[in-house]
Chain A
Amino acid sequence: MESRTGKIREIARRLLTEEKVDVVLGYKAGTVPLRNIPFFARTPEEVESLIWDSNGRINLANFLPRREDRIAVAAKGCDVRNIVNHIIENQIKREQVYIIGVPCEGMIDPELVYEREGRLIEEAAEADGKLTVRGNGFETVLDRNELLRQNCRICQHRNPPVYDELVGEPVPEEGDVSPLEDLEELLAKADSERYEYFHDLVKTCIRCYACRDACPLCYCHVCFVDEHMPQWLGKSIDPRDVITYHFLRAFHCAGRCTDCGACESACPLNIKVRQFTRLLEKDIRELYGYEAGLSLDKLPPLTVYLPDDREEFIK
């Protein structure tokens, strides 16, 4: 981790000094433990604030659409896949973005830390795969790898598939982890039970739209929930409107989602909103053999027409 920080700074400094880019996007330490800030470094001095640790849960690709400048991004596997998405979907030009690829060892889920400790964490420090957390009268050392977010535990693409420069050596991919094991029970349910499951999943949703706004895929100028002439969706917390929002958000992501987990990490109420998108990505893999953001030459299946498309779902 420490060596990645050093290398990212070194690359960032060089890119800015040589005027290859106008800005370098990475993470900076936040003001609360276990939370990083997306940080835009524009000078060699600002580069000194860049860090790399296990709290980079915000997907930095989210800050690329509609940019005019040349930007370098310190991007982990999923971030790069979303940058690839953006390039394919014409949200940024390939030559505009310099990808500092960072092989990723997964990001931690602060909720798991709180679950273990059950008390307020006031400070956290990370070194050599250990996370030391401190609070009022206690200090605990935890194993970082046991605290990873669920999407990081099942991740199959920790190494950036596309990059201009790689920070350090690639990390081993966790090839033997089943991405759907925990969903088997849900998949076995009847439609009505599944509906009930999703209904329950979002019952505490306050419609702050953090899941949408943290998602790199959600770059529409006006989101369907905000359209008002006509207005498609009610604004209250009526369960029908809440679940309609979540279903539609997920469907708009089908075939484009990289399971980066930014949506879930952004949710202030810890709602497992990835359950929607994970099921759709499973369908996309099975129907089209496609995974988002792995290649600049392949378009997301739902954006292209192919004469030999499988059409078994049309009855």
Chain B
Amino acid sequence: MAEKILKKSGLDGFLKSLGESYKVFGPMAEGREIKFGPIEGGILLDFQNSRMSPKDFFFPQSERMFEFVTGSSSEEANILKSCLTEPEPRLVYGIRPCDAKAFAVLDKIFTNDQYTDVYWTTKREAVVLVGLGCNSPCPTCFCTSVGCGPFHEEGLDVLVYDLGENLLLKSLTEKGGQILEKAEGLEEADEEALETAAGLKDRAESAITSVVETDKIEEREVMELFEAPHWEMVQERCLNCGVCTFVCPTCHCFDIQDEVAGQVGDRIRNWDTCMSWLFTVHGSGHNPRPDKTSRVRQRFMHKFKYIPMKRDGDIGCVGCGRCIVSCPVNIDVRDVVRDMNL
């Protein structure tokens, strides 16, 4: 593990030099939105949470998986041909620790002892993530309650501390170490810089005032939680739109569709949302989640009960607060979890 100092004025040069080995992405303003794009122009040095999560780096909203031709004229007909390509090596600067933690959560879901989702893993393996710690978290942040934090390191290759005039770069993986080793103009971090960085981390952590306890959820029986009366209060105002699931960095459900024009078709996968009636409807017409209650309950149960049950207690939420900010009727995950944790 290396800890290096980079002058903020040297960041552009640092990222440009990385451009020789990677396609480099960074945060930038696009109107009101903060997006991660190729760093042709300037990047944002400081920003608060982007409205959309950056999960589309590895899990685009629509992704072509296979192509095919229909009919019986050619030998190739009706045979799926993979569209999986060798991904270009990418480096993303400025990913927030919560979003990186979300990638780590999804790594465990997209790869397990039975299956590997190559559409996720190939892109994920070809990326270097240089995260930027949060000096000033938002009032909706509750990362520290769900096993994450403003300077959490999981999922990142390098973590950057913004010390003011300087940046402290801390390597966390072999990939991260190699980058810092190769870069020019970096100095070894001294004791003072390390102390300042530790101070920033402490300050940011204590600035997060939203505390959400989750300890009792583990003890509660699934069916008891499933049938708890508070879901009725949540569903009453829920619109069953897909905002929470689409802005969420850990929501990962998708729907696979064949789109055919003439005799040429694509098999694509698209983000799907458990808030939708269509998400669970069967070919027979039966729908196991026929009402709003069952749909809105699913999202919270999945993140705070089912994922922890299957993944050794790891919560499927990173506390980024995006769903709180964007829900049109202000369904606040913190309140829902408090009701689950009784």
Contacts and interface: CB of A to CB of B under 8 A. Distances in A.
Interface of A: 30-32, 35-40, 58, 62-63, 111, 114-115, 120, 122, 136, 204, 206-210, 212-214, 222, 226, 228, 234-238, 265-266, 268-270
Contact of A30 (B139, B259, B271, B330): B330
A218 to B, nearest CB: 10
Which of B138, B140, B241, B246 has most chain A Cβ within 10 Å? B241
Contact of B257 (A63, A209, A226, A236): A236
B259 A210 contact: no
Given A236-B257, A236-B259, A213 B237 contact: no
A228 B278 contact: yes
B138 A222 contact: no
Contacts of B245: 208
Given A32-B325, A213-B240, A222 B139 contact: no
Contact of B62 (A115, A214, A236): A236
B341 interface: no
A136 B135 CA distance: 12
B236 interface: yes
Report whether over half of chain A's contact residues are helix, strand or loop; otherwise say mixed.
loop
A36 B245 CA distance: 21
Contacts of A270: 32
B139 A122 contact: yes
Contact of A226 (B236, B246, B259, B277): B277
A206 B273 CA distance: 12
A232 B61 CA distance: 20
Given A37-B329, A120-B138, A236-B268, A213 B259 contact: no
A279 B240 CA distance: 27
A31 B329 contact: no
B189 interface: no
15 contacts: A31-B332, A31-B335, A63-B236, A206-B52, A206-B271, A208-B241, A210-B241, A210-B243, A214-B328, A226-B277, A234-B259, A236-B257, A236-B268, A238-B62, A270-B32
**Chain B interface size range:** 35 or more
Contacts of A40: 236-237
Given A31-B330, A228-B278, A268 B51 contact: yes
A136 B136 contact: yes
A235 B237 contact: no
Contacts of A62: 239
Interface in B282-322: none
Nearest to B139: A122
A210 B271 CA distance: 15
Contacts of A39: 237
Nearest to A265: B328
Contacts of B268: 236
Contacts of B62: 236-238
Interface string B220-243: 000000000000000011011111
A222 B277 contact: yes
Nearest to B266: A236
Nearest to B333: A31
Contacts of A213: 239-241, 328
Interface in B182-233: none
B139 to A, nearest CB: 5
A213 B138 CA distance: 28
B270 to A, nearest CB: 5
A257 to B, nearest CB: 18
B339 to A, nearest CB: 14
Contacts of B100: none
A207 B246 CA distance: 9
A266 to B, nearest CB: 4
A265 B257 CA distance: 31
Nearest to A270: B32
Interface in B29-48: 32-33, 48
A120 B48 contact: yes
B129 to A, nearest CB: 23
A206 B242 CA distance: 9
Given A206-B52, A236-B62, A58 B242 contact: no
A98 B138 CA distance: 40
B185 to A, nearest CB: 32
Contacts of B257: 234-236
Contacts of A204: 33
A107 to B, nearest CB: 13
B61 A228 contact: no
Contacts of A207: 242
A236 B330 contact: no
Interface in B92-112: none
Nearest to A28: B330
B85 to A, nearest CB: 18
A265 B243 CA distance: 13
Given A111-B32, A206-B61, A212 B241 contact: yes
A208 B32 contact: no
Nearest to A226: B278
B326 interface: yes
A228 B245 CA distance: 21
A139 B255 CA distance: 46
Contact of B324 (A31, A214, A226, A266): A31
Nearest to B271: A206
